[in-house]
Amino acid sequence: MSEIITDIPLNRLPAIVAELGLKPFAVEQIIEWLYRRRVSNFSEMTNLTKQARDELAKKYKISAVEKAGVETAADSTRKFLCGLTDGNAVECVIIPAEDGRVTTCISTQVGCAMGCAFCRTAGMGFVRDLTQGEILGQLILAMRESPEPITNVVLMGMGEPLANLDAVSSSVELMLDTRAFGFSKRRVTLSTSGLLPQLDAFSRRFDIKIAISLNATTDEVRQRLMPVDKRYPIAAIMDFCREYSHRTRHRVTFEYVLIRDINDTMTDAKRLVSLLRGMRAKVNLIPFNPFEGSGMDAPLPETVERWADLLRENGIQVNIRVSRGQEILAACGQLASKAVIGE
Ligand code: SAH
Ligand code: SF4
């Protein structure tokens, strides 16, 4: 089976090009064809010699994902099922916003090992990490499918991105490289359940936006919802965030999924205010998106409003993240491939 060229990290391309007997500047040309023009065939790489194109086509395939299905919601959010070469599948979502931004939400693993109690992906268990070509393949598919240009990328789909650090890092490198996708670094966001050592390393290498899924204000509740809290409890997250915002001058975004009667009391809201005191932080309130078998409920709408008011009164920037594409289970954290879990 031929290798997939989009799986190759930027720093390995010179060696590949040399091996094929091409001039060093072919690296730039290949990057441009793959990630700026996003061709699907080597024959389209017209500034390479015929011989070079043939050699490449003999050794490599370009795409690691193919569109295996699409669902469109009433709010025009679209969810794609991306088939992988081994028969697995992941989902990515295109979310157009009223302000003209078009965000694509991308997966980083098939399933997830983190076991969060409120997350649909967690129910699949962990199957495997995605490769660079599979991560970027979702982005390329979204760019091809979206009638409007994709303006933002969020690594918030299936999986814990920092548990797949190598492929996620080399993918982010290509997202930011101006010769490749050339996204501005403030338009790419990585969301993590809080794997702190990996987050520290990643944040020293890439200056993209960071979001941390907090989802509780006591370790007791957070551990029940997110087993990762046993390793990296709330106090450690807060220490990291203070250091991070001091070092980078950036705000950390906290995601807080409000689940009725579990983490949505006003005592929790007040505790969150105390936790964030003196920190440059932003909070995304996400009403829990229930799914069959979750055994948990969405918060009452007035609870979400009361939380937002209290946080704002205390000078904290708040966004209520409306669940887009709810009926097609397209909200982040709602992704789980039917092909894999056999629904
Ligand atoms: N693994 C990463 C990124 C993927 S999950 C992380 O956990 O941050 C993306 C976001 O979806 C997280 O903030 C998570 O808390 C949220 N989420 C998961 N399940 C959800 C659900 N059922 N309803 C609403 N948000 C959910
Ligand atoms: Fe994994 Fe994130 Fe879902 Fe937790 S919320 S199981 S870390 S995808």
What is the full per-residue pLDDT of the chain (343 aa) written as tens digits?
689 999 999 999 999 999 989 999 999 999 999 999 999 999 999 999 999 999 999 999 999 999 999 998 888 899 999 999 999 999 999 999 889 999 999 999 999 999 999 999 998 899 999 999 999 999 999 999 999 999 999 999 999 999 999 999 999 999 999 999 999 999 999 999 999 999 999 999 999 999 999 999 999 999 999 999 999 999 999 999 999 999 999 999 999 999 999 999 999 999 999 999 989 899 999 999 888 889 999 999 999 999 999 999 999 999 998 766 666 666 555 666 655 444 4
Distance 46 CA to ligand 2 centre (A): 43
The per-residue pLDDT for 79 is: 92
* Alpha carbon of 1 to ligand 1 centroid (Å): 35
Asked if residue 159 has its Cβ within 6 Å of ligand 2, the reply is yes
User: If 0-12 CB within 10 Å is exposed, 13-18 middle and 19+ buried, where does residue 71 land?
Assistant: middle
How far is ligand 1, taken at its centre, from the CA of residue 119, in Å? 6
CA gap 177, 183 in Å, rounded: 7
Mapped onto helix, strand or coil, the DSSP state of residue 289 is: coil
CA dist., res. 159 & res. 177, Å (int): 24
- Give the model confidence (pLDDT) of 228-262 as tens digits: 999 999 999 999 999 999 999 999 999 999 999 99
Contacts of residue 338, Cβ cutoff 8 Å, sequence gap at least 6 = 81
Report yes or no: 84 and 68 within 8 Å, Cβ to Cβ.
no
Cβ–ligand 2 contact at 193 (below 6 Å) = yes
Q: Provide the whole-model pTM.
A: 0.95
Q: Which atom of ligand 1 is nearest to the CA of 284?
A: 13
Beta bridge partners of 254: 212, 283
Write down the H helix ranges in the chain: 13-19, 26-31, 50-59, 132-145, 165-176, 196-205, 219-225, 234-248, 266-275, 301-313, 338-341
The tally of CA atoms less than 13 A away on the side-chain side of residue 290 is 10
Residue whose structure tokens are 């070079």: 52
Ligand nearest to the CA of 329: 1
Assess contact for 208 and 185: CB atoms under 8 A: yes
Cα gap 89→338, rounded to integer Å: 8
Of 230, 257, 243, the closest CA to residue 199 belongs to 243
Q: How far is CA 202 from CA 111, 180, 326, 332, in A?
A: 22, 20, 31, 22
Q: Please tell me the residue having the least CA distance from ligand 2 atom 4.
A: 116
Which residue, 328, 288, 342, is CA-closest to 92?
328
d(CA 37, CA 109): 26
In this predicted structure, what is the pLDDT of residue 98? 87
What is the number of other CB atoms lying within 10 angstroms of the CB of residue 94?
26
DSSP state of 189: E
With H, G, I as helix, E, B as strand and everything else as coil, classify residue 320: strand
Residues 6+ apart with CB under 8 A from 138: 65, 80, 82, 90, 92, 104, 106, 107, 157
Residue pair 153/174 in contact (Cβ under 8 Å)? The answer is: no
- How confident is the model over 272-319, as pLDDT tens digits? 999 999 898 999 999 998 888 899 999 999 999 999 999 999 999 999
Q: Is 157 in the pocket of ligand 2 (CB under 6 A)?
A: no
Rounded to a whole number of angstroms, the CA Rg of the chain reads: 21
Q: Are 330 and 71 in contact (CB under 8 A)?
A: yes
Residues marked active site are found at 91, 332
Q: How remote is the CA of residue 48 from the centroid of ligand 2, in Å?
A: 43
pLDDT of residue 343: 41
Spatial separation of the C-alpha atoms in residues 231 and 19, rounded to whole Å:
45
Identify which of 192, 196, 210, 213 to mutate to test ligand 1's pocket (most ligand atoms within 8 A of the CB).
Answer: 213
Confidence at residue 278, expressed as pLDDT on a 0 to 100 scale = 86
pLDDT, residue 329, reads 62
Which protein residue's CA is at the shortest distance from atom 8 of ligand 2? 159
CA of 111 to the centre of ligand 2 (A): 9
CB 224 within 8 A of CB 181: no
Ligand 1 pocket (Cβ < 6 Å) reads 118-120, 156, 160, 191-193, 213, 215, 255, 257, 286, 288-289, 331-334
pLDDT of residue 341: 42
Does 122 contact ligand 2 (Cβ within 6 A)? yes
Closest CA to 93 of 117, 116, 110, 76: 76
Specify the pairing of strand 109-111 against strand 126-129.
Answer: antiparallel
Summarize pLDDT for 268-282 with one digit per residue, the tens.
999 999 999 989 899
Q: Which atom of ligand 2 is nearest to the CA of 109?
A: 8
Which listed ligand is nearest to 191 at the C-alpha?
Answer: 1
Q: Is 317 helix (H, G, I), strand (E, B) or coil?
A: strand
